[in-house]
Amino acid sequence: MYKCCIFDLDGTLINSIKAIAYSCNLTLKKYNLGPIDEDTYKILVGDGYKKLIERALIHCGDNSLENYEDA
């Protein structure tokens, strides 16, 4: 008998791009970067949250990823 089932909701059962854009833009704002529009986030997502932060920072001009670890 299974006690737990884990699966990826986003893109399958729900569309969370608005929430992703909102929270990532809050993070970028902390470093005086962004915001990024929702359509761009559709391109930046995939491969997990760490890769999203990396892509978002680079997109906003932090090519050296100076803020990556803190973000």
pLDDT digits 0-9 by tens, 4-40: 987 766 666 788 999 999 999 999 999 999 999 999 9
SS3 10: strand
The pLDDT of residue 71 is 95
Cis ω on the peptide bond leading into residue 35 (within 30° of 0)? Answer: yes
Q: What is the pTM of this model?
A: 0.83
Q: Where are the domains of the chain?
A: 17-59
47: amino acid identity, one letter: D
The pLDDT of residue 1 is 83
30: amino acid identity, one letter: K
Specify whether the CB–CB gap between 29 and 23 falls below 8 A: no
DSSP state of 32: T
Give catalytic residues, as residue numbers: 8
